[in-house]
Amino acid sequence: MTGIAILGMGVVGTGVYETLESNAETIARRSFGPLEVKYVLDLRDFPGASFEDRLVRDFGVVERDPEVKIVVETMGGTTYAYDYTKRALAAGKNVVTSNKELVAAHGAELIALAEEHDVNYMFEASVGGGAPVIRPLVSCMGANVIEEIYGILNGTTNFILDRMERGGAPLEEALAEAQALGYAERDPSADIEGLDPARKICILGSLACGYDIGVENVRAEGIAGLRREDVRHAAEAGYAVKLLARYIRLGERKVSAFVAPHLIPKSCILANVNGVFGGVTYIGNVVGEVDILAAGAGKLPTASAVAADIIDAARHLYKTRFRSVWSAERAEYVPPEEIGGRFYVGSSGSAQDAREVFGDVRLISEEGGAAFITPRLTPEERRVKTAEYRRRARVFSEMRVLERGVDEW
């Protein structure tokens, strides 16, 4: 019997508990024996819940119990969760988490601490919800240099964009729906403003390059400023608008990572990933393109990923599975302004102004001002030409068009 403690009985914690109950037999077979939830730590009362007799408020009880081999941290945040995680690892317990905020901020340190104590710090559920994205990256694609990653890493905003594209509810209404479905963060501005996917791409990017990108470096732009017209114009031109999280390898240890709304060609798989579904595309220098899609948020999809880590930890209780995958040494970070490309511009200006300033633009609409896609611009051209265009017209929105290939930048 392997003892488990679940810290935090919110949406994900509850889903993990339910999954361990409903799939107990399958999970026991794959874990080399049954698992027992010995403790549930939460400050709230749960009258009548089946785990009521196992509720504790003092983490010391979990920490001191040698039968607890796996601690499931589904509390979120970086205060108590950070303290309890360090204490659990130092006590020789494996820790499994869905807490992307903590992993993004302290992943390298916590992995090192786990290694020091020959246990595991596992965080498959921290990125991609139900989509398995961490193991494919560090294990299945382990022989590749990862050149690029781009993904829809926030279920809430993809759900909202879907509603916008179908001409339905305004942002606030779609967000309320996403909150009711348990997709959104406690503070949903982390979803809307792109901070949540920034944390996630920081995790994937750091694993891809092996160095710490530093979550504070990752530029995040969300969907708050997005206009319905932009989504419509993009569709008319054969693109979907998606909030993309991107990692680009620019050299050994030199990387960029950022989050921003993008125009994605409809022919691209991710353009057709809608609702709460999310997905990641990896470009490896040996395998080429690998695409992974699944529900990116929600109770059971996320619980599925947490439970898979619990099984893996149960099979490797005293053996660190993924050693040295993420060093605390810093990567050299290149901001997105230093990366060229093609850009969508929604403006009050004329098609003539757009052509005079940017050259051979692709005009999409002149209704209420020119909406167009620029030719490929170097970072310097972008700065100069955008400044010139802004002297002539109001720019309502500017979005990058997804293009691949470092050589082209």
From the list 68, 113, 184, 325, which residue makes contact with ligand HSE (rule: CB under 6 A)?
184
Return the range that interacts with ligand HSE (CB under 6 A); candidates 182-190, 202-210, 260-268, 357-365.
182-190
Q: Residue 270, interface with ligand HSE (CB under 6 A)?
A: no
Residue with smallest beta-carbon separation from ligand HSE: 156
Return the range that interacts with ligand HSE (CB under 6 A); candidates 19-27, 40-48, 179-187, 282-290.
179-187
Q: Residue 76, interface with ligand HSE (CB under 6 A)?
A: no
From the list 101, 196, 309, 312, which residue makes contact with ligand HSE (rule: CB under 6 A)?
196
DSSP 145-200: -EEEEEEE--HHHHHHHHHHHTT-S-HHHHHHHHHHTT-S-SSTHHHHTTHHHHHH
Nearer to ligand HSE, 298 or 349 (CB): 298
The answer to whether 200 is a known catalytic residue is yes
d(CA 100, CA 156): 15
Q: Residue 74, interface with ligand HSE (CB under 6 A)?
A: no
From the list 154, 217, 256, 347, which residue makes contact with ligand HSE (rule: CB under 6 A)?
154
Return the range that interacts with ligand HSE (CB under 6 A); candidates 111-119, 178-186, 206-214, 357-365.
178-186
Question: Reading across the β-sheet that carries 121-122, which strands appear in turn?
Answer: 55-56, 35-41, 2-7, 68-73, 94-97, 121-122
From the list 155, 222, 261, 341, which residue makes contact with ligand HSE (rule: CB under 6 A)?
155
Contacts with ligand HSE by CB under 6 A: the residue count is 11
Q: CA 132, 271, 266: angle at the middle one, nearest 5?
A: 145
- From the list 200, 242, 266, 299, the catalytic residue is 200
Short-list 251, 250, 230, 180, CA closest to 401: 230
Q: How many CB atoms lie within 10 A of CB 396?
A: 17
Q: Residue 297, interface with ligand HSE (CB under 6 A)?
A: yes
In 22-156, at which residue ranges do the beta strands (DSSP E only) sit? 35-41, 55-56, 68-73, 94-97, 121-122, 146-152
Q: Residue 183, interface with ligand HSE (CB under 6 A)?
A: yes
Nearer to ligand HSE, 134 or 371 (CB): 134
How far does Cα 241 stand from its chain's mean position?
Answer: 17
From the list 191, 309, 353, 398, which residue makes contact with ligand HSE (rule: CB under 6 A)?
191
From the list 156, 206, 256, 304, which residue makes contact with ligand HSE (rule: CB under 6 A)?
156
Return the range that interacts with ligand HSE (CB under 6 A); candidates 180-188, 202-210, 338-346, 398-406.
180-188
d(CA 195, CA 258): 10
How far does Cα 47 stand from its chain's mean position?
Answer: 34
Nearer to ligand HSE, 8 or 369 (CB): 8
Return the range that interacts with ligand HSE (CB under 6 A); candidates 51-59, 148-156, 226-234, 331-339.
148-156
d(CA 347, CA 370): 5
Shortest spacing between CB 160 and ligand HSE, in angstroms: 10
Q: Residue 222, interface with ligand HSE (CB under 6 A)?
A: no
- For 252, the 3-state DSSP assignment is coil
Binding mask of the shown chain, residues 127 to 146, with x at each position contacting ligand HSE by CB under 6 A: --x-----------------
Q: Using the 8-state DSSP alphabet, how is residue 371 labeled? A: E
How far does Cα 213 stand from its chain's mean position?
Answer: 14
From the list 151, 296, 336, 346, which residue makes contact with ligand HSE (rule: CB under 6 A)?
296
Beta bridge partners of 401: 263
Nearer to ligand HSE, 192 or 401 (CB): 192
Return the range that interacts with ligand HSE (CB under 6 A); candidates 44-52, 85-93, 152-160, 250-258.
152-160
Length in residues, the chain: 409
Beta bridge partners of 97: 73
d(CA 98, CA 84): 14
- Burial zone of 318 (CB within 10 Å; 0-12 exposed, 13-18 middle, 19+ buried): exposed
Catalytic residues: 200
| Positions in the binding site for ligand HSE (CB under 6 A) | 129, 154-156, 183-185, 191, 196, 296-297
